[in-house]
Amino acid sequence: MAVKERVGVVVSTKMDKTAVVAVENRSPHPKYRKIVVKTKKFKAHDPENKCQEGDRVRIRETRPLSKTKRWEIKDILTAH
């Protein structure tokens, strides 16, 4: 079974050891073929609080760590 990974931008770091990551999904509309951008937010585990708002990060799916946290930060791609 493959582990899910996503790339997104950190939008909030106000919680301790948690970062909110916004992941964009760009796809053409089925009928009109215009590119539609959908954004989904994931709460990701950041144990050392390394991330800052605006950082581009790769997140990986993991076991449930809290009520809403099921992802962890794998690495920081570009720092803000």
55-68 pLDDT tens trace: 999 999 999 999 99
Confidence check: pLDDT of 1 > 80: no
Q: Which residue has the tokens 């800052």?
A: 52
Tell me: pLDDT of 16 over 90: yes
Instruction: Give, in words, the CATH class of 5-78.
Output: mainly beta
The full set of domain ranges for the chain reads 5-78
Task: Specify the length of the chain in residues.
Answer: 80
What's the gap between Cα 75 and its chain centre?
11
Q: What is the pLDDT of residues 25-58, one digit of tens each?
A: 999 999 999 999 999 999 999 999 999 999 999 9
Q: In this structure, are residues 33 and 42 in contact, taking their beta carbons and an 8 Å threshold?
A: no
Sorting pLDDT into bands at 50, 70 and 90, what band is 5?
very high
Strands (E), 13-70: 18-28, 35-45, 56-61
**In this predicted structure, what is the pLDDT of residue 2?**
86
pLDDT of 18 above 90: yes
